[in-house]
Amino acid sequence: MPKRYKEEFKTMHNVFDQFTDRNIFKLISEGHFDGLIGPINLGKESNTFVAKKGDEKVLLKIYRLQNCDFNRMYDYIKYDPRYQHLKKRRREIIFAWCQREFRNLLKARELGIAVPKPITFKFNILVMELIGDPAPKLKDMPPSNPQECYEKILLSMKKLYKSGLVHSDLSPFNILMENDIPYIIDWSQCTSKENPLAKEYLKRDIKNIYHYFNKFNLSITLEQMEKKIKGK
């Protein structure tokens, strides 16, 4: 590692707690990436970073162990049948949140939905493919063909629903545009259809997508969207 790079790396690591820092180094020694390049986003529950891997780059999503609204996280996960036995303990919830995003990404990929390829996770750290360098969000990058883009997203929602899941945080903020492909990101809230709140989440996802694409004068309605997603 060049000296300058080492210095920057050290500075960046000062922001992590010891536990996270240790696990970043473990992931490096396991060969998942070589080091951090810089932050992309500081979010409510997690921060995202670009990391270097040889000549390539990967994305790190690091869930914060401190300063996160873990009550909200618990409320979101407790009804997911896959996490029914989870105790309301801060760390357990944060780790489950990270694991759930990894599992959901794997599942979505299996279903043929365009998502970043999940690479690995360790406790509160998730490593995945970096889309673009990084790619812009749909909200900032109108698609060249709105109808086509809308249909791709609708098909993804349908595939997901058919497999028994609802994204639950779908909006133009969580879709990245790369080569005109809408990549759906931010999968930690994605829950099972059995979740008693899943119907509400689906409605909200549909509304967010509808409001975005309605601006392009496509002939769509909320009812039509719901029917298509739930249809055979």
> Closest-CB residue for ligand ADP?
43
HEC assignment per residue over the chain: CCHHHHHHHHHHHCCCCHHHHHHHHHHHHCCCCCEEEEEEEECCCEEEEEEEECCEEEEEEEECCCCCCHHHHHHHHCCCHHHCCCCCCHHHHHHHHHHHHHHHHHHHHHCCCCCCCEEEEECCEEEEECCCCCCCEHHHCCCCCHHHHHHHHHHHHHHHHHCCEECCCCCCCCEEEECCEEEECCCCCCEECCCCCHHHHHHHHHHHHHHHHHCCCCCCCHHHHHHHHHCC
Contact status: 35 vs ligand ADP (CB under 6 A): no
Among 45, 101, 186, 205, binds Mg ion (CB under 5 A): 186
59 near ligand ADP (CB under 6 A): yes
Q: Residue 116 binds what, of Mg ion, ligand ADP, none (CB under 5 to 8 Å, by partner type)?
A: ligand ADP
Per the residue annotation, which of 34, 69, 133, 169 is the catalytic one?
Answer: 169
Cβ atoms of 107 and 165 within 8 Å: the answer is yes
Q: In the Cβ-directed half-sphere of 206, how many Cα atoms lie within 13 Å?
A: 21
Under rule CB under 6 A, residue 155 binds ligand ADP: no
Closer of 186 and 205 to Mg ion (Cβ): 186
For residue 186, indicate whether it is catalytic. yes
- Which residues within the stretch 110-139 sit at the binding site for ligand ADP (CB under 6 A)? 116, 128-132, 134-135, 137
Q: Which residue is nearest to Mg ion (CB)?
A: 186
Shorter beta-carbon distance to Mg ion: residue 119 or 176: 176
- 186 binding ligand ADP? (CB under 6 A): yes
39 binds ligand ADP (CB under 6 A): no
- Using the rule CB under 6 A, is 108 a contact of ligand ADP? no
Question: How far apart are CB 60 and ligand ADP at their closest, in Å?
Answer: 9
Region of 27-35, 158-166, 186-194, 224-232 interacting with Mg ion (CB under 5 A)? 186-194
| Residues in contact with 184: Cβ distance below 8 Å, sequence separation at least 6, in sequence order | 108, 113, 114, 115, 153, 156, 167, 170, 174, 175
In the bound state with ligand ADP, the residue whose beta carbon lies nearer, of 152 and 220, is: 152
Establish whether 169 is a catalytic residue: yes
Task: Please report whether residue 171 would count as binding ligand ADP according to CB under 6 A.
Answer: no
Choose, by CB under 5 A, the member of 20, 171, 174, 188 that binds Mg ion. Answer: 174
Catalytic residues, by residue number, are 169, 186
